[in-house]
Structure 1
Amino acid sequence: MQNKNITSLSVVLPVYNEQDNLPALFEEIRRSIANIGKEWEVLFVDDGSKDRSLEVIKALAAEHPQVRYLAFRKNCGQSAAFAAGFQAARHEVIVTMDADLQNDPADIPAMLIEFERGYDMVIGWRAKRKDTFAKRIASKWANAIRNRLTGETVKDTGCSLKVLRTTMARRIPMFTGMHRFLPTLMKMQGATVAELKVNHRPRLHGVSKYGAFSRAKTAAFDLLAVAWMKRRYINYDIAEHN
């Protein structure tokens, strides 16, 4: 791998009913990346929130030129929010995070340093998760099954804190549940992927938008689809043309 310094990044944040977390989240992101010498933006994707999230986002955008936003007409899910954010991002690298303040923006600079070693993707590993026991067990089992069927060794593919090369992120096959398989979908394009331990914090405001086991059936079908896709995926790189 060849080291390559990046000059700009887009932080993509899916938002669904997180009004109380957004001002603090933006301020933490700003403090984390404002002085690292790179052009940056924060792109909020409001996923049909029913609270004041969009109002808060608009206020942030009016005050800070680095803030942009997209707003869905209705709730479409986290994968759709990421997909829209990937297409709308203006910079060469995308950083993804949850909007619930459990991911720590202070981890972003270290992840960018790792990325600049020559990787196409760096994913966070929540070594000490601050979730309920049920969510930790469900995540552990999901990671194990996902790795077994996709041939991966990823410790924590469910962590939303990731750094991705924008050109590759935009080529990811888009489907509901896509966000659970980002490392595999990137590797299908030939991406090099690294993992880095990151901080994880307890939720202070709002509630989790899904139960620990409520999506197991849907996730199982998604997993079978990705395992099939990995075997059948066509990937080519044109060397010359006229």
Structure 2
Amino acid sequence: MPTAPLPDPTLLHPAAAPQPPEVSIVVPMFNEAESLPDLVARVGEAMQASGRSFELIAIDDGSRDGSPALLRQLARERPWLRPVCLARNYGQSCALQAGFDRVRGRYVVTLDADLQNDPLDIPALLDRLDAEPELDSLSGWRQNRQDKALSRKLPSMLANRLISRTTGLQLHDYGCALKAYRRHIVDRIHLYGELHRFLPLLAHDAGARIAEVPVRHHARAKGKSKYGIDRTFRVVLDLVLVLFFLRYRQRPLHAFGGLGLWLATPGVLILAWLFVQKLAGEAIGGRPLLLAGVMLVLVGMQLVVAGLIGEVMMRIYYEGGGGRQYHLRDEPESPGPAA
């Protein structure tokens, strides 16, 4: 007779199940094989010296330089290293989200793989979150940047000023990868596209109370930078998207309908003026003003209808259980491993 499979011992004895770590460190990477051994070693040294349990979730974003094989090799001797290898290059936002989907710790720290941020700063960020429970997130500020290339400094400076002016969240350095969050804030964030540049804004929208902390910065010693001056233009486009979602996600009619009314109102006034002139016996058929009035009214009506469709879709999403419209201030942190 076939024997029944033995039950999982962790189900019979819950205490035997491994405890989730206190800290999850998420590092996305693309073609960083040269920096990987130093990165893993320095993160391990910094966290082991702090006495906190931790995991390093290293997300390889479709690298072609042997990074996946190197990650698996390093993980054989380090149970706290968890490699995640994506099928292809999806971009930094998707890589970060893949890491966020797998975090298990009370605190979540993000870090770039190029070692320009110093892993030794991580324990200090965690200590401050412990000491100040009113804070939900700490964002690194590279006060003394060591980047020599203007193609990195100039886009970052322009982007920081633009984002701070347009959003009202005043940070000196949105682009610093070194950030620390309480777990429940990360659980509320969903990244796609290029939204990793706006993590502080998304965290703020999720209810996070954010502070900025000066951190060390080093010149890139190995590998090649993936950023250039064209990044500034992409930031502007992504900022338009973020501002729309932050301000009008739950009231799209106010965005589309408001713009529609601004356009339709002068169109109606133009047509009314031309109607009065028509009644007075003047010919209006060949006047460009007639075409302008008709176009303004039509475009304005289309925008109002687009806003109404957006309202219907928003209500279907929320009423169908797609998500909550709010977050609680004292929501408990997520226990256990993420699905």
TM above 0.5: yes
Gapped regions of structure 1 (runs ≥ 5): 1-6
Does 2:227 match 1:214?
A: no
Does the CA-based 8 Å contact 1:43-1:69 persist in structure 2? yes
Does 2:167 match 1:77?
A: no
Question: 2: distance between equivalents of 1:238 and 1:150?
Answer: 22
Question: 2: distance between equivalents of 1:237 and 1:195?
Answer: 23
Structure-2 residue corresponding to 1:122: 138
Does the CA-based 8 Å contact 2:158-2:232 persist in structure 1? no
Shift of 1:217: 2.7
Q: Residue 56 of structure 2: SS of its match in structure 1?
A: strand
Shift of 1:166: 2.0
Quick one: structure 1 residues 37 and 51, their matched pair in 2 at CA, closer, same or farther if it must change by over 3 Å?
same
Does 2:27 match 1:13?
A: yes
Quick one: structure 1 residues 157 and 238, their matched pair in 2 at CA, closer, same or farther if it must change by over 3 Å?
closer
Structure-2 residue corresponding to 1:4: none
Shift of 1:237: 4.0
Structure-1 residue corresponding to 2:40: 26
Question: 1: distance between equivalents of 2:203 and 2:102?
Answer: 18
Shift of 1:62: 0.7
Q: Using the TM superposition, name which of 121-130 and 166-175 deviates more.
A: 166-175
* CA shift digits 1:136-175 (9 cap, x unpaired): 1211111000111111101101000000122221221322
* CA shift digits 1:172-211 (9 cap, x unpaired): 1322111111111111121111111000001111100131
One-letter amino acid of the structure 1 residue matched with residue 225 of structure 2:
S
Q: TM-score, normalised by structure 1?
A: 0.91
Does the CA-based 8 Å contact 1:188-1:233 persist in structure 2? no
Shift of 1:24: 0.7
Q: Residue 35 of structure 1: SS of its match in structure 2?
A: helix
Quick one: structure 1 residues 238 and 164, their matched pair in 2 at CA, closer, same or farther if it must change by over 3 Å?
closer
One-letter amino acid of the structure 2 residue matched with residue 34 of structure 1:
Q
Q: Using the TM superposition, name which of 88-97 and 162-171 deviates more.
A: 162-171
Q: Map residues 78-227 of structure 1 onto 2, 5 A cutoff.
A: 78-116=92-130, 117-118=132-133, 119-131=135-147, 132-211=149-228, 213-227=229-243
Question: 1: distance between equivalents of 2:195 and 2:108?
Answer: 16
Gapped regions of structure 2 (runs ≥ 5): 1-20, 251-324, 330-339
One-letter amino acid of the structure 2 residue matched with residue 143 of structure 1:
N
Q: Residue 188 of structure 2: SS of its match in structure 1?
A: coil
Does 2:75 match 1:58?
A: no
Does the CA-based 8 Å contact 1:40-1:66 persist in structure 2? yes
Does the CA-based 8 Å contact 2:155-2:231 persist in structure 1? no
Shift of 1:9: 0.4
Does the CA-based 8 Å contact 1:29-1:105 persist in structure 2? yes
Does 2:326 match 1:236?
A: yes
Larger radius of gyration: 2
Question: 2: distance between equivalents of 1:94 and 1:209?
Answer: 24
Higher relative contact order (CA 8 A, sep 6+): 1
Does the CA-based 8 Å contact 2:206-2:327 persist in structure 1? no
Count of paired positions = 232
Does the CA-based 8 Å contact 2:31-2:65 persist in structure 1? yes
Does the CA-based 8 Å contact 1:17-1:53 persist in structure 2? yes
Question: 2: distance between equivalents of 1:70 and 1:238?
Answer: 31
Does the CA-based 8 Å contact 2:107-2:182 persist in structure 1? yes
Which one has a larger percent helix, Structure 1 or Structure 2? 2
RMSD of aligned C-alpha atoms?
1.5
Question: 1: distance between equivalents of 2:216 and 2:327?
Answer: 37
Quick one: structure 1 residues 168 and 47, their matched pair in 2 at CA, closer, same or farther if it must change by over 3 Å?
same
Q: Residue 138 of structure 1: SS of its match in structure 2?
A: helix
Question: 1: distance between equivalents of 2:74 and 2:207?
Answer: 37
Does the CA-based 8 Å contact 1:13-1:96 persist in structure 2? yes
Q: Percent identity?
A: 38
One-letter amino acid of the structure 2 residue matched with residue 152 of structure 1:
L
